[in-house]
Amino acid sequence: MRPALLVVVLLTACTRQGPPADRTATVRFITPPIDGAVSQILLAQQQRVQAEHRRVLLYAGASWCEPCRFFHEAVDRGELTGRVGPLDLVAFDGQVDAERMLLSGYESQLIPLFAVPGPDGKASGRHIEGSIKGPGAVEEIVPRLKALLADAPH
């Protein structure tokens, strides 16, 4: 084999890693207002991103929650880009915002909480909650998040 052809073959073999990730399919945290009905905040976000075909989930976590911290850091580093599709996580504090989340039907025993809002912004009943501690939290959450999003409206 000629050296130039060998280089092309090796470069092609080294760069094939399946289809490229959709770099536009970012996951981002949205900071909600400190007051107001959770359902109205989620409804407004759903309407705001409708033309972008982004999904919206309620996310509830806490600064002391280890799986929450690992998940936040992964999102901030862009590690979920292309893995779960374009997604806006409206991020509430699971303790501070618990009462107003409950008024819109969002309730959980564990955090992090990822919940699909209904067409009116209220809880649809579809959610996942909790995760393992440690650096494996993100890899434990992602498949569950994908399954939750598989049923969520676009």
Q: Are 99 and 24 in contact (CB under 8 A)?
A: no
Is CATH 3.40.30.10 what the domain over 21-150 is classified as, yes or no? yes
151 band by pLDDT with thresholds 50, 70 and 90: confident
pTM of whole model > 0.85? no
Show me where the domains of the chain are located: 21-150
Neighbour-count burial of 47, counting CB atoms closer than 10 A to its CB (0-12 exposed, 13-18 middle, 19+ buried): exposed
What integer pLDDT is reported at residue 85 of this predicted model? 92
Q: What is the mean pLDDT of residues 86-94?
A: 97
Distance CA 87, CA 3 (A): 46
Span 93-121, pLDDT tens digits: 999 999 999 999 999 999 999 999 999 99
pLDDT in tens, 5-56: 333 333 333 333 434 445 568 999 999 999 999 999 999 999 999 999 999 9
